[in-house]
Amino acid sequence: MKTIVITGASSGIGAEAAARLASEGWDVAVVGRNPERTAKVAASVGGTPFVADYDRLGEVRDLATALLARYPRIDVLANNAGGLVSTHALTVDGNERGIQHNHLAPFLLTNLLLPRLLESQARVISTSSFANLAGSVRLDDLNWEKRPWLGGWPAYGTGKLATILFMRELAKRTGLDAYSFHPGYVSTAFGADSGFITVTNRLRPGGFGIPAAVGAEPLVLLATGSAAPAANGSYYDRLTPNGRTRKSANDDTLAAALWERSATIAGL
């Protein structure tokens, strides 16, 4: 039986992917922030619940410890947790919430699990977004204190651009299969505290996006190795490899520098 760890699995595409893979015989570690929803999804798929709040890197460390104690082998790590943070604020660790949710916490978790991932020759998948096209990774302003906030959208795009850079650099440094993907514009609880998203959902109850089950397809296919082939470290636009990215997503120097900066911030 193969084991997959899915973060952000208490709802949306994470929960859908957990159900799909469990039905195919996978042992699923269901990671979420909300204890009740996480336990409910884990029970429904026959998986194991793990709770962690990405606002606190200490909880990410505790999560890694619990996962390593529970699983002698991890075949796939799916870094799916994250999202839009519409109000600028810092975490208890001193990082802008969006960059911590979308990049720093997954970066820390992946690195803490790395020895086990290498032993298992695991695959790492990270949920990114077409919003990376609006991102701009500035190592001197990861906390977004020198640029207009604009509802958090540019910072969100930057977090998703960082995700692409992270997967490319992880593949380069470790040789592990590592991919990022855009799931499509999915109609879920994404951006629930965003005024723009709230208005669009009022205009069309249920949202304008694709169902979560459809959005989960890239995650499932990448986890199982059934996606269209692409070079290691590639970014998929849904099911299509080599999707459109910001030019800086291909900047090797920036990817390496982001890794080093992230390691310092995360205390690695």
Give the full edge-to-edge strand order of the sheet including 3-6.
48-51, 27-32, 3-6, 76-79, 123-127, 177-182, 235-237, 240-241
By the 8 A CB rule, do 34 and 8 touch? no
Q: CB under 8 Å to 11, separation ≥6 — which residues?
A: 32, 37, 41, 188, 189
Q: What is the token pair recorded at 54?
A: 């990405």
Of 42, 31, 29, nearest to 9 by C-alpha is: 31
Q: Catalytic one among 156, 179, 235, 236?
A: 156
Half-sphere exposure of 210 (CA within 13 A, CB side): 13
In Å, what is the CA distance from 113 to each residue of 87, 170, 187?
31, 13, 31
Helix (H, G, I), strand (E, B), or coil: what is residue 3? strand
Of 161, 25, 15, nearest to 78 by C-alpha is: 15
Residue 71: active-site member: no
Distance CA 75, CA 26 (A): 10
Ramachandran assignment for 56, one of left (phi > 0), alpha (psi -120 to 50 degrees), beta (any other): beta
Cβ-count burial of 199 within 10 angstroms (0-12 exposed, 13-18 middle, 19+ buried)? exposed
Residues with catalytic roles: 156
